[in-house]
Amino acid sequence: MKRPGLQSRWLCVPGALWIGVFLLAPLLCVVAVSFFSTGSYGEIQRPLTAEHYARFVGFGALGWDALYPFIIARSIFLAAASTGLCLLLALPMAFFIASLPTRWKSAALTLVTIPLWTNLLIRTYAWQILLSGTPFYPGAVAVFVGLVCDYLPFLVLPLYASVEKIDWTLAEAAQDLGAARWNTFQHAIWPQMRPGAVAGIVLVFVPATGQFVIPDLLGGAKTVLLGNVIQQQFGPSQNWPFGSALATIAMLLVLMGLWLYARAAKNDREATLL
């Protein structure tokens, strides 16, 4: 018997082609470029070398300096902190929107997405103006305001979708079996939301690690982040191979983080009591 799955496999060909040509191939180029040397005028040339990775780890002309790992750590911290902040705000929002009567739901969801209709730069400049009179600008608070404003919708939408589908009798069952509020949430509600939360966290965390416009404009350019450095390498510094090496490392770190999370989640699901 012919499985319907075999035929529908062809349906993903256009998408796969698109991803292959416009995403995977350039990505491989980036990885490849990171192993070439840089000429004095920024040419990408032979011989193949690992010097850019050595430079990242801190072995430069001036001896050892952990500048770049430090920048990456700072970027990841900033991304994690803004993801956490978004999650804290998005959780109650998702529950609130799901509790609204049907006709208000779509209105609320539209409100959530409205910031996305405006260009990121314009939004960020708007925050600059709005916050300029306050002690928060320029500084970390302003950066977080900008980041959260930028990424919140990406967490609210998938979370809302999973809250909508929650089977509340499970919460009642948990209560019935002796679970107080927090336990009910932890054991009966959160597991149902986890897929949505993971999707949202990935959507926020990954782009936030590469973010540089908002920290630049709202942080007063005092903090150098991964995004800034990479942008510098491809722009003013004309050192594409080093920029590529940085991008590759950042990507590997993010992938590793996601992999660790996925493994932890899987273990968690498979853990048995006895």
Asked if 7 and 203 count as a contact pair (C-beta separation under 8 A), the reply is no
Among 95, 140, 187, 254, contact with other proteins (rule: CB under 8 A): 187
Q: Give the E-state strand segments of the chain in sequence order.
A: 37-38, 44-45, 59-60, 63-64
Q: Which of 176, 221, 256, 266 binds other proteins (CB under 8 A)?
A: 176
Neighbour count for residue 260 (Cβ, 10 Å): 10
Angle, vertex CA 214, rays to CA 208 and CA 219, nearest 5: 115
Stretch that binds other proteins, among 13-21, 113-121, 179-187, 225-233 (CB under 8 A): 179-187
The residue count for binding other proteins (CB under 8 A) is: 22
Instruction: Please tell me the distance from the alpha carbon of residue 210 to that of residue 196, in angstroms, as a whole number.
Output: 22
- Residue 254 as a binder of other proteins (CB under 8 A): the answer is no
Do 268 and 194 touch, CB atoms closer than 8 A? no
Closest CA to 230 of 56, 43, 79, 83: 56
Scanning 74-82, 92-100, 114-122, 173-181 for contacts with other proteins by CB under 8 A, the matching segment is 173-181
Residue of 167, 222, 259, 266 interacting with other proteins (CB under 8 A): 167
Angle subtended by helix axes 226-234 and 240-270, to nearest 10:
150
Give the nearer residue to other proteins in terms of CB position, either 17 or 177: 177
Q: Is 173 in the site for other proteins (CB under 8 A)?
A: yes
Within 219-238, the residues that bind other proteins by CB under 8 A are none
Q: From 24-32, 33-41, 53-61, 168-176, give the range in contact with other proteins by CB under 8 A.
A: 168-176
Interface residues with other proteins (CB under 8 A)? Answer: 167, 169-170, 172-180, 183-184, 187-188, 191-192, 269, 272-274
